[in-house]
Amino acid sequence: MKLSLQLLLFAAAMITAQLGVTSNAHAQQISVTASADTTVYSNAVNNNGGGHSFGIAGIANNGNRRNMLLLFDLSGITPGATVSSARLDTNISQIGNAGGNFELYQIDTAWGEGNKTGNQGSAATAGEATWNEAAFGTTTWPTPGGTFFAPLLSNASITTVGVNSFSTTANFTTAVQAMVDDPAQNFGFLISSQSPNSAIRIGSREGGAAATLVVDFTPATVIKGDVDMDGDVDFSDIPAFIAVLQAGTFVAEADCDCSTVVDFGDIPAFIAILQGQ
Ligand SMILES: [Ca+2]
Ligand SMILES: [Ca+2]
């Protein structure tokens, strides 16, 4: 009985050693604070508020509109990961009147945060986002106030100060997945409102109260050595491995010694994995 158990443990150890080349995927959560945030103003169409100590979204009592734009660096989520949920936490510091319902959208155009300050910002300089332009002097928004993809990502009824969240939805998750899959197309989010007298102050990174994006994701399963990613490690991976080495790019499957870079140190590890097949 004892001997059988030892044999079983030995067999399990051998199997584990074989599986050791595969990184098991576990669900993870990451919280990312905004890397850029700014406000644009319908009554001051050439102003930027990217450096101000708070952002504003909603409609003021006089009918003036403000939209807040937010960008998040999602490079902490490994390429190939599957996003399962996303939530945006905002720090509301003031409710102008009664607040209202706020909508979150995915921006479709690159924009410049800018560094202007003031409760209605101040005159933008080159490259800064304004009501009329995504990048002042360079790129006009197709629709003033900022343009975004049609699907509503999430909405929130915000009537009290403190942390208010835009909860996860299928559209929100899909948008973040697209940003992870193609970082060059990650232009962040826009918060706006159609509610009268709804204007609110939203914490900015300059004010030390940046919004936070919370993302649940599962990293892609990586089979070390399977550089051509066809599901197994064999001789067809050799040219793929050499190509990655020559290109000097990071491919997790080629990082056979798990050093987080692909370099000559991976060659003996790659050969060892090949020989182990
Ligand atoms: Ca800012
Ligand atoms: Ca392969």
In a domain, 12, yes or no: no
Measured CA to CA, the distance from residue 273 to residue 256 in angstroms comes to: 8
For residue 202, give the ligand nearest its CA.
1
Give the closest residue to 101 by CA, choosing from 27, 164, 183.
Answer: 164
pLDDT above 70 covers what percent of the chain?
91
d(CA 154, ligand 1 centre) in Å: 22
CATH of the domain at 256: 1.10.1330
> What pTM value is reported for the model?
0.79
**Model pLDDT for residues 191-226, shown as the tens digit of each residue:** 999 999 999 999 999 999 999 999 999 988 889 999
The number of the ligand nearest the C-alpha atom of 253 reads: 2
Both 107 and 167 in one domain: the answer is yes
Tokens of 53: 């100590």
Residue 151 lies in a domain: yes
Q: Is 193 exposed, middle or buried (0-12, 13-18, 19+ CB in 10 A)?
A: buried
- Residue where one domain finishes, among candidates 218, 233, 263: 218
Cα-to-centroid distance, 26 and ligand 2 (Å): 23
Report pLDDT for 15: 38
Tell me what pLDDT residue 37 has. Answer: 98
Ion ligand 2: residues, CB within 5 A, are 226, 228, 230, 237
Buried b / exposed e along 152-162 (16+ C-beta atoms within 10 A): ebbebebeeee
Give the residue from 187, 227, 193, 43 showing the smallest Cα distance to 121. Answer: 43
Q: What's the full length of the chain, in residues?
A: 277
| d(CA 68, ligand 1 centre) in Å | 10
Runs of H (alpha helix) within 157-224:
170-181
> What is the CA(54)–ligand 1 centre distance, in A?
8
CA distances from 207 to 55, 91, 213, 273 (A): 9, 11, 17, 51
pLDDT at 25: 64
Q: Which of 194, 218, 242 is the last residue of a domain?
A: 218
Q: Do 84 and 182 belong together in one domain?
A: yes
206 and 231 in one domain?
A: no
Q: How many domains does the chain have?
A: 2
**How far does the centroid of ligand 1 lie from the alpha carbon of residue 108, in Å?**
19
Domain, as residue range, for 93: 28-218
Q: Each residue of 57-109: pLDDT tens digit?
A: 999 999 999 999 999 999 999 888 999 999 999 999 999 899 999 999 999 99
Q: What are phi and psi of 47, to 5 degrees?
A: -95, 155
Same domain membership, residue 213 and residue 230: no
Are 152 and 140 in a shared domain? yes
Distance 82 CA to ligand 2 centre (A): 21
Asked if 83 and 101 sit in the same domain, the reply is yes
**pLDDT tens column, 225-238:** 999 989 899 999 99
Q: Give the least confident one: 165-169, 212-216, 244-248.
A: 244-248
What does the mean pLDDT of the chain come to? Answer: 91
Q: Where are the beta strands (DSSP E) in 167-211?
A: 189-193, 200-203
The pLDDT score that the predictor gives to residue 18 is: 42
Q: Which ligand is nearest to the CA of 116?
A: 1
Do 172 and 228 lie in one domain? The reply is: no
- Note whether 169 and 67 are same-domain residues: yes
The DSSP H or E segment spanning 214 is strand 212-218
- Looking at the CA of 241, name the nearest ligand: 2
Mean pLDDT of 173-195: 97
Q: Are residues 73 and 118 in the same domain?
A: yes
The residue among 257, 163, 258, 260 whose CA lies nearest residue 212 is 163
Q: Report the separation in Å between the CA atom of 236 and the middle of ligand 2, taken as the mean of its atom positions.
A: 6
In a domain, 5, yes or no: no
Domain shared by 91 and 173, yes or no: yes
Average pLDDT over residues 149-159: 98
CA of 276 to the centre of ligand 1 (A): 52
Q: Is 107 helix (H, G, I), strand (E, B) or coil?
A: strand
User: 52 with 69, same domain?
Assistant: yes
Same domain, 161 and 256: no
List Cβ neighbours of 64 (8 Å cut-off, separation of 6 or more): 41, 42, 43
Residue 89 lies in a domain: yes
Strand partners, 162: 92
Ligand approaching nearest to the C-alpha of 21: 2
